[in-house]
Each structure stands twice: as C-alpha cells, then as structure tokens.
C-alpha cells in the first residue's frame, strides 16, 4: 500500500510541463506492478489510490509503461534472456555499415557484438555500466537515419506493438517472431518495411540463444524468426 501511495505522490510532484509521454516505474512490489498494468487487484484499499493515479495519468495524457526486462516472460518463451544465435546474426550482419549499429533493447549480457567481439552501443532498461542510454521509450529516435545512426532492435514480444508506435520515423532493423496466427502488429511492421526475410526457420536450434546459469544455450525455435528493415512512414 505504501509503495502505491509513493507512485501517486511522485506523479503529483511531476513538473507541469511533463505530459503526453510514457511513464515507467521501477518497483519490486507485485501488487503495485499488477495494478499499474491495469489489472484488478484483490486489495480493496488499493482502489482509491488506483483511481487517483488513473486521474493523474488522464489529466496529463501519461501512458503507464512496463519495464522492458523486469518481467522475464515478456518474450513469450520461458525464464531467461534471449539473444540472436550466431547463424541468425550472420545473416543480417552483412547489412551493417559504418558506424556500427545501436542496439535499442538489450543488456550488457545479450548485446550484439561486432566481428571482433566488441559490444555495440546499446540502450538498457535501467542504468548499468555499459549502457549508452536508459529505456528506449524515453529516447529521441529521430536521428536513427540508417546512416549516422544505424539502429537495431530485438524487442520483447510484448513490446513490439508499443515500439512500432513509438518509432517517430526512425529507420532501423527489427527482429520479430513469425508466429501463427499472425499477431495484431504484423500488418503494421510489413507496411512500415521495405523488405523482410526469415533469419531462422521454425524448429531450428541455432537461431536463438537463451541465458541459463551456465551461460547462453541454444533453444529450439517454436516459430520462424524474421528481420524487417523498417524505413517507410
């Protein structure tokens, strides 16, 4: 309860010019996170606070967001952090140009690397030593033109639609799952892209890696893995 009141007080204390944007809170209370994402909580005493937060966000057009990598099931796979396998990365690595890509959604552990193993500049969901910026949804992506800034993203599956809505005419390479039936964002990414191709087919073992206690291990793909060149707006 106290944590939820803290969220409300922070929103009340925001400067008046902060509006029309996404708001993320980094909390470890499951009841707060559950209610923050729009689900009905069991605790009745949280309802007044939830209503207060709702009115505060509506008044300023603030969109409640979720921390990208705090919920490990947001990739729709299983517990762990995924990254592209070597074979998948090699397919689209041929399109890299100078300067090297900016990885928009990653951690220091699963960031893509160049041919000699150096990590690319990357945005992380929270401040960590190798981060070039925090939270892609709080960044200005309009400079991602494919020339000066060559952006790449392998977003959590639950955030693909939000990312496409946020792109702001940014040119980038986006890796997504080719699930069936097609998800609601599929027509959008097809319309926004000049081309797309399959990186790894369903059933392949070398297309995707998943983090474990013993490092990254190959997993069997349950879907085709696609890459799109998003450059149409």
Between the alpha carbon of residue 216 and those of residues 85, 103, 219, the distances in Å are: 9, 19, 9
Q: Please give the mean pLDDT across all residues of the chain.
A: 76
Asked if pLDDT for residue 70 goes beyond 50, the answer is no
Quick check: 87 and 79 in contact, CB under 8 A? no
The pLDDT > 70 percentage for the chain reads 74
What does the domain layout of the chain look like in residue ranges? 2-64, 72-230
The separation between CA 47 and the C-alpha centre of its own chain, rounded to angstroms, equals 29
* 184-231 pLDDT tens trace: 999 999 999 988 888 888 888 877 888 777 778 888 888 898 989 888
* 120-167 pLDDT tens trace: 888 888 788 888 888 888 888 877 776 677 788 888 888 888 888 888
Q: Which residues contact 88 (CB under 8 A, 6 or more apart)?
A: 175, 199, 200, 206, 207, 208, 225
Between the alpha carbon of residue 99 and those of residues 50, 148, 226, the distances in Å are: 46, 7, 23
Quick check: 199 and 214 in contact, CB under 8 A? no
Span between the terminal Cα atoms of the chain, in Å:
44
Predicted confidence at residue 73, as pLDDT, reads 41
CA count, 13 A, side-chain hemisphere, 155: 24
Look-up of token digits 């087919």: 201
Asked if pLDDT for residue 78 goes beyond 50, the answer is no
Task: Kindly report whether the global pTM for this prediction surpasses the value 0.75.
Answer: no
Q: How far apart are CA 150 and CA 148, in angstroms?
A: 6
Give CA angle at 218 (217, 223), nearest 5°.
140
72-230 architecture in CATH?
Answer: 3-Layer(aba) Sandwich (3.40)
């Amino acid at each position: 309860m106290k944590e939820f009141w803290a969220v409300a007080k922070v929103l009340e204390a925001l400067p008046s010019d902060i509006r029309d944007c996404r708001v993320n809170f980094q909390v470890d209370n499951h009841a707060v996170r559950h209610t923050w994402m729009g689900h009905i909580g069991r605790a009745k005493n949280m309802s007044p606070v939830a209503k207060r937060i709702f009115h505060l966000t509506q008044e300023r057009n603030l969109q409640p967001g979720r921390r990208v990598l705090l919920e490990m099931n947001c990739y729709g796979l299983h517990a762990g952090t995924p990254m592209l396998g070597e074979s998948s990365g090699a397919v689209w690595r041929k399109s890299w140009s100078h300067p090297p890509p900016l990885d928009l959604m990653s951690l220091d552990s699963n960031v893509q690397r160049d041919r000699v193993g150096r990590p690319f500049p990357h945005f992380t969901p929270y401040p960590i030593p190798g981060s070039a910026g925090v939270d892609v949804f709080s960044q200005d992506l309009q400079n991602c033109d494919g020339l000066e800034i060559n952006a790449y993203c392998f977003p959590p599956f639950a955030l693909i639609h939000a990312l496409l809505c946020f792109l702001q005419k940014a040119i980038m390479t986006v890796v997504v799952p080719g699930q069936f039936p097609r998800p609601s964002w599929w027509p959008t990414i097809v319309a926004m892209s000049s081309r797309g191709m399959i990186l790894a087919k369903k059933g392949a073992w070398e297309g995707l890696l998943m983090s474990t206690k013993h490092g990254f291990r190959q997993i069997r793909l349950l879907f085709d893995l696609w890459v799109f060149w998003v450059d149409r707006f």
